[in-house]
């Protein structure tokens, strides 16, 4: 684990990150973008295994508010454009600081949406992107599951379990949960923005995803014609955990063929 300091929008940030894989330092870099409750540690050994299979270097980091990175400021509430700000401000600043040029991106859930926004904003700045269980609009099934997560956090030991992965677990949980359940977020959509994506794109979703229907990835494919789709049976919202072998094989093959 390592840390770097960034200044974004005039605010100093501490970012937790680590490198994964045994590829040479001049190998292409695959940047991992975690889900709404994720962090470096919550990826477990998936980045290492995938990078070794694909022959790339991995950059895994915790977004501000998560893991060992800077927590949210006291009383700070994320706005509906929080994923756009990550794609437009934090991720480019981190890549510059670490000297990473034209990476691949691999995002899961909120991280997948951030990857899509980045790819639409910087169409020449990527080798390509992989999105696992992405969101391109808000669906009722998403809101229902996120509302259930709130009840679970309040009524069970979920907070204690998440505390293994976050220095400030309330920062991580409420930052994500509050914005997703806010009335202002219900109209959030990147359906039109993603039409600007020009890089190779692989979209993967579980058939049994409890946070979104298959219209999420199928909607991407209709708007981004170079998209390769993979819909996995017996798989929920975490394809890299539910079907790790299938995801590793598909992503490694995609990186080799598109790179």
DSSP 28-39: -EEEEE--TT--
Give residue 10's pLDDT. 85
- How many CB atoms sit inside 10 A of residue 147's CB? 13
Give the start-to-end residue ranges of the domains of the chain: 2-258
For residues 194 and 84, give the distance between their C-alpha atoms in angstroms, rounded to a whole number: 12
Which residues sit opposite 228 in a β-bridge?
202
Q: Which residue has the tokens 């974004």?
A: 8
Fold for 2-258, please state it.
Rossmann fold (3.40.50)
- How many CB atoms sit inside 10 A of residue 144's CB? 12
For residues 27 and 57, give the distance between their C-alpha atoms in angstroms, rounded to a whole number: 6
Q: Which residue has the tokens 């979920």?
A: 158
Give residue 162's pLDDT. 97
Cα separation values, 40 from 143, 170, 214, 257, Å: 25, 17, 27, 27
Give residue 141's pLDDT. 98
Which residues sit opposite 106 in a β-bridge?
32, 130
Give residue 249's pLDDT. 98
CA 232 to the chain's CA centroid: 19
Per-residue pLDDT of the chain in tens (259 residues, 90 and over written 9) = 899 999 998 889 999 999 999 988 899 999 999 999 999 999 999 999 999 999 999 999 999 999 999 999 888 999 999 999 999 999 999 999 999 999 999 999 999 999 999 999 998 899 999 999 999 999 999 999 999 999 999 999 999 999 999 999 999 999 999 999 999 999 999 999 999 999 999 999 999 999 999 999 999 999 999 999 999 999 999 999 999 999 999 999 999 998 6
Token couple for 237: 């919202």
pLDDT tens digits, one per residue of 10-57: 889 999 999 999 988 899 999 999 999 999 999 999 999 999 999 999
3-state helix, strand, coil in the chain (%, to 5): 40, 20, 40
Token couple for 33: 């973008």
Instruction: Answer whether 194's CB lies under 8 Å from 136's CB.
Output: yes
DSSP 15-66: EEEEEESS--TTS-EEEEE--TT--TGGGTTHHHHHHHHHT-EEEEEPPTTS
For residues 102 and 128, give the distance between their C-alpha atoms in angstroms, rounded to a whole number: 9
Tell me phi and psi for residue 157, to 5 degrees. -90, 20
């Amino acid at each position: 684990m390592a840390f770097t300091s960034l200044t974004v929008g005039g605010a100093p940030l501490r970012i937790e990150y680590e490198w994964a894989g045994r590829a040479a330092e001049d190998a292409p870099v695959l940047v991992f973008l975690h889900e709404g409750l994720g962090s470096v540690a919550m990826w477990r050994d998936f980045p290492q295994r995938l990078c070794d299979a694909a022959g790339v270097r991995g950059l895994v980091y915790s977004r501000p508010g998560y893991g060992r990175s800077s927590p949210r400021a006291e009383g700070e509430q994320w706005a509906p454009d929080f994923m756009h700000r990550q794609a437009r401000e934090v991720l480019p600043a981190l890549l510059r600081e670490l000297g990473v040029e034209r990476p691949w991106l691999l995002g899961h859930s909120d991280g997948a949406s951030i990857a899509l926004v980045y790819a639409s904003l910087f169409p020449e700045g990527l080798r390509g992107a992989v999105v696992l269980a992405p969101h391109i609009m808000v669906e009722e099934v998403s809101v229902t599951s996120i509302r259930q997560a709130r009840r679970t956090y309040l009524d069970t030991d979920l907070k204690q379990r998440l505390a293994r992965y976050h220095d400030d677990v309330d920062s991580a949980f409420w930052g994500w949960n509050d914005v997703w359940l806010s009335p202002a977020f219900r109209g959030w959509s990147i359906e039109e923005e993603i039409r600007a994506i020009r890089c190779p794109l692989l979209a993967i979703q579980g058939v049994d995803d409890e946070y979104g229907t298959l219209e999420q990835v199928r909607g991407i494919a209709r708007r981004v014609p170079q998209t390769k789709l993979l819909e996995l049976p017996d798989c929920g919202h975490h394809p890299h955990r539910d079907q790790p072998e299938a995801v590793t094989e598909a992503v490694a093959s995609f990186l080799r063929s598109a790179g």
